[in-house]
Chains A and B, each alone.
Chain A
Amino acid sequence: MPLEQNQTFATVFARGLLDPTRPAPPDVAGRDGRSAGRRYDVYRNNVTVSLIEALAAIYPAVQRITGPDFFRAAARCHIRKSPPTSPLLFDYGRDFPAFIEGYEHARELPWLADVARIERGWLDAYHARDAAPLSPARLAAVALDRLADLVFIPHPAAGIVRSQFSAVTIFAANRDTAPVERIDGSTPEDALITRAEFDVTVRHLPPGGAVFATNLMSARPLGEAAASALDAAPDFDLASNIAGLIEAGAFTSIALGDAR
């Protein structure tokens, strides 16, 4: 009996927290036993506003692009459909980019979801496990005839976001407060997100670079990854791409393919 009673207080109290159409729970009261009314609304407000702020902290460029009113309305809608399932708020909002993609009021901003994906990737890199990046000297020590079999171990903070739009340029222009000039949003851009040490960096990958890096990060050997990249972009430049990935801190170590 007591357990059932316990279940009831939280179940009843929780029901209206994200649903403003529900009245205040009947088992709580204001002063002198009066109905709780606006006092319950304080909790509703705390929940919704704090979660909107959590999303705004994860997606500052999205908020800057849309303006705070649009962002808050979109965030409120998303929070009601998908409240957090973990107390770690830096993990929240993973499905917000997909929500933006389907949000009817964002249809005129087709690149917005990809900008959000880069911001989500940025925060994942920020909180990722620390690891020393691969030193270029390690690669130089590999015998030439074994290079094609080489496998790269990805850095915990490394991630890739591919976009049919100019998401990297739009992201970069909106992550600080400097004025933004007009951007043509229609050039496909791929992002490499890394945090070799302290600072998260987002780089714009050259043609074929995303295919190449994605292959390497999923433990495909260097030879195969390079072939896939050349298929995707005939002018793919292997030497500059591999040097760029290593310099960015995309990997922690290398192994020979047969050690997989």
Chain B
Amino acid sequence: MATATKTNASTAVPLRFPAPIGGVAGTSFKPEHLSAILEAGRQRGFFEVHAENYMGAGGPPHRALEAIRRDHPLSLHGVCMSIGGPQPLDKVHLARFRGLVARYQPALVSEHLAWSTHETSFFNDLLPLPYTEATLRCVCDHIDQVQEAIRRPILLENPSTYVAFRDSTMSETDFIRGVAQRTGCRLLLDVNNVFVSAANHGFSALDYLADFPLSHVAEIHLAGHAEQADDGGALLLIDSHDGPVADAVWTLFEIVIERRGPVPTLIEWDSKIPDWAVLQAEAAAAQAILDRGASSALPAGRHAA
């Protein structure tokens, strides 16, 4: 397996590291916004896409992404690598992922601490895993393979979860710290996920953030969530990505930026997609906080790569 990865990684395509983009706010790129974005021309910020949507051979998706990439930094966000699952990574999928990194030279490349494929079935959801020494080893092994294939660190995103595993022997923050230390990967801190998981499991989001290895954070996600109730009638938050960022999540974001300094921050909006102007306004709100953080901060921001 390692040999196959090596062969892949040593083909002629150069895998460059574009320059760090610093503390700018970006948005999810949605094809329905393409003409509005192109009309507005080059602007500060970046666009993030789900890698799998651009794994077709050709056609309009690649044309759109090329047009976006011409003027803007890109963040390539993988959703389906199944890094958190126990079975070996799908080598074909990894090769496709590497191909996209080589083709579009994204400024940021990220994936999830979750799994989505088991045996031959793909479930199209980010499924949870227990936090144990065994799963930690397995996740690290998978991240090593991804990083070897794309020849750069990936950013690993903390999940939002609705259940906890009775077998877990460590906290999520300890687990994520362990992954970052052992693999050298960077972290994508999804502040909405922290808020959702904290509400769902009854822990303090502030405590979680205090324990999170912020120095490894190279990107932040902000998104909207929905409210439901569990069997006991307790509030259950759903990571729905279908609305504006909640006030409480903005507050947590400000706290993170104060401590960490500005890092690239994404407004994630994946369903019930609004007009481009609405998404842009959310990004402007994030940018204002990032800019305030930049003017007050310590050189910590220099680590944001």
The residue of chain B having its C-beta at the shortest distance from the C-beta of A86 within the complex is: B122
Cβ contact of A9, chosen from B86, B90, B116, cutoff 8 A: B86
Q: Is B167's CB under 8 angstroms from A5's CB?
A: yes
Q: Is A42's CB under 8 angstroms from B164's CB?
A: no
The residue of chain A having its C-beta at the shortest distance from the C-beta of B199 within the complex is: A31
The residue of chain B having its C-beta at the shortest distance from the C-beta of A199 within the complex is: B60
Q: Is B86's CB under 8 angstroms from A38's CB?
A: no
Cβ contact of B231, chosen from A11, A13, A27, A37, cutoff 8 A: A37
CB distance from A135 to the nearest CB of B (A): 19
Q: What is the CA–CA distance of A195 and B122 in the complex, to the nearest angstrom?
A: 29
Contacts of B86 on A, CB cut-off 8 Å? 3, 6-7, 9-10
Is B232's CB within 8 Å of the partner chain A?
yes
Comparing B132-140, B207-215, B260-268, B296-304, the segment that makes contact with chain A is: B132-140
Contacts of A260 on B, CB cut-off 8 Å? none
Q: Is A9's CB under 8 angstroms from B200's CB?
A: no
Contacts of B82 on A, CB cut-off 8 Å? 87
Is B59's CB within 8 Å of the partner chain A?
yes
A9-B86, A9-B165, A31-B201 are contacts. A128–B59 as well, Cβ < 8 Å?
Answer: yes
Is A90's CB within 8 Å of the partner chain B?
yes
Contacts of A40 on B, CB cut-off 8 Å? 162-163
CB distance from A109 to the nearest CB of B (A): 27
Is B80's CB within 8 Å of the partner chain A?
yes
Q: Is B167's CB under 8 angstroms from A31's CB?
A: no
Cβ contact of A31, chosen from B79, B119, B135, B202, cutoff 8 A: B202
Is B195's CB within 8 Å of the partner chain A?
no
Cβ contact of A33, chosen from B132, B166, B234, cutoff 8 A: B166
Is A83's CB within 8 Å of the partner chain B?
yes
Q: What is the CA–CA distance of A11 and B86 in the complex, to the nearest angstrom?
A: 9
Is A46's CB within 8 Å of the partner chain B?
yes
Is B130's CB within 8 Å of the partner chain A?
yes
Is B56's CB within 8 Å of the partner chain A?
yes
The residue of chain A having its C-beta at the shortest distance from the C-beta of B93 within the complex is: A87
Comparing A47-55, A137-145, A161-169, A178-186, the segment that makes contact with chain B is: A47-55
Contact residues of A between 34 and 63, Cβ < 8 Å to B: 34-40, 42-43, 46-47, 50-51, 54
Q: Is B118's CB under 8 angstroms from A36's CB?
A: no
Q: Is A198's CB under 8 angstroms from B60's CB?
A: yes
Is A2's CB within 8 Å of the partner chain B?
yes
Q: What is the CA–CA distance of A85 and B122 in the complex, to the nearest angstrom?
A: 5
Contact residues of B between 201 and 235, Cβ < 8 Å to A: 201-202, 228-232, 234
A10-B86, A127-B56, A130-B58 are contacts. A84–B164 as well, Cβ < 8 Å?
Answer: no
Cβ contact of B134, chosen from A3, A24, A129, A157, cutoff 8 A: A3
Cβ contact of A34, chosen from B57, B116, B232, B236, cutoff 8 A: B232
Is B73's CB within 8 Å of the partner chain A?
no
Q: What is the CA–CA distance of A7 and B85 in the complex, to the nearest angstrom?
A: 9
A3-B134, A127-B57, A127-B61 are contacts. A32–B202 as well, Cβ < 8 Å?
Answer: yes
Q: What is the CA–CA distance of A40 and B236 in the complex, to the nearest angstrom?
A: 12
Q: Is A88's CB under 8 angstroms from B162's CB?
A: no
Of the four ranges (under 10, 10 to 19, 20 to 34, 35 or more), the interface on chain A belongs to 35 or more
Is B47's CB within 8 Å of the partner chain A?
no
Q: Is A14's CB under 8 angstroms from B121's CB?
A: yes
Contact residues of B between 109 and 139, Cβ < 8 Å to A: 115-125, 127-130, 132-135, 137-138
Contacts of B58 on A, CB cut-off 8 Å? 127-131, 156
Of the four ranges (under 10, 10 to 19, 20 to 34, 35 or more), the interface on chain B belongs to 35 or more
Is A20's CB within 8 Å of the partner chain B?
no
Is A28's CB within 8 Å of the partner chain B?
yes
Is A17's CB within 8 Å of the partner chain B?
yes
Contacts of A125 on B, CB cut-off 8 Å? 59
Is B38's CB within 8 Å of the partner chain A?
no
Q: What is the CA–CA distance of A148 and B178 in the complex, to the nearest angstrom?
A: 69
Is B238's CB within 8 Å of the partner chain A?
yes
Is A96's CB within 8 Å of the partner chain B?
no
Cβ contact of B127, chosen from A32, A43, A51, A90, cutoff 8 A: A43
Contact residues of A between 70 and 117, Cβ < 8 Å to B: 83-90
Is B70's CB within 8 Å of the partner chain A?
no
A27-B165, A195-B59 are contacts. A87–B117 as well, Cβ < 8 Å?
Answer: yes
CB distance from B167 to the nearest CB of A (A): 6
CB distance from B265 to the nearest CB of A (A): 25
Contacts of B127 on A, CB cut-off 8 Å? 10, 13-14, 17, 43
Is A152's CB within 8 Å of the partner chain B?
no
The residue of chain A having its C-beta at the shortest distance from the C-beta of B231 within the complex is: A37
Is B172's CB within 8 Å of the partner chain A?
no
Contacts of A37 on B, CB cut-off 8 Å? 230-231
Q: What is the CA–CA distance of A84 and B133 in the complex, to the nearest angstrom?
A: 31
The residue of chain A having its C-beta at the shortest distance from the C-beta of B62 within the complex is: A130
A–B complex contacts, Cβ < 8 Å, 5 sampled: A10-B127, A18-B123, A27-B166, A31-B201, A33-B166
Q: A30-B234, A43-B163, A128-B56 are in contact. List 4 more A-B contacts (CB 8 A).
A: A27-B130, A84-B124, A90-B56, A128-B57
Q: Which 3 A-B residue pairs are closest in the complex by CB-CB distance? A: A127-B56, A2-B134, A87-B80
